[in-house]
Structure 1
Amino acid sequence: MAEILKALNHIFQDVVDDPNVVLNRETTAQDVDDWDSLNHITFIVAIEKHFKVKFSSAEIRSWKNVGDMCDAIATSLG
């Protein structure tokens, strides 16, 4: 799980072009100034590409925080 979170941090830093952003399992979009709807879509696409997984719209909407993303990725990877 730590490796997934580390990868998400790197991906998100690339998306928002800010190496100082640090995500944790409790982080939500409201916690990060640059996490707007466009960056959210870009982030999801980058996650799916990086991990070679695909999430449904309903699954993505159910995520409350970064921890939910990590859990979904871990489940998809088996």
Structure 2
Amino acid sequence: MTTMERLNAIFCEVFDDDDLEIAPEMTAADVDGWDSLSHINLIVAVESAFKIRFNQRELLTFKNVGDLLHSIESKIG
């Protein structure tokens, strides 16, 4: 399973939508229910699943799903 596929599964779980298909250019505006609370839940789920941690500066630089994916991949090698 690719990192993108794993990330998509996390999105499906956090947003309770099995049909959700993420893409690198997607932003919070593209996903129903993506608000500040679900964003925290998403980040916690990603950190747990990939066994990584984001610092606050990193979190502030994420503009879309692609930025999140790139950061995950850089941390897991």
How high is the TM-score relative to the length of structure 1? 0.92
Q: 2:2 aligned with 1:3, yes or no?
A: yes
Distance 2:50 2:70 in 1: 13
Number of matched pairs: 77
Listed as ranges, the gaps of 5+ residues in structure 2 are none
Aligned to 1:17: 16
Q: 2:60 aligned with 1:61, yes or no?
A: yes
| One-letter amino acid of the structure 2 residue matched with residue 35 of structure 1 | W
Aligned to 2:32: 33
- List 4+ stretches of structure 1 deviating above 2 A: none
Aligned to 2:45: 46
SS at match of 1:64: coil
Distance 2:53 2:43 in 1: 9
Task: Report the identity percentage.
Answer: 44
Per-residue Cα deviation, 1:19-77 (whole angstroms, up to 9, x for no partner): 11110111100111211111110000000000000000110110111110111011111
Q: Report the RMSD for the aligned CA atoms in angstroms.
A: 1.1
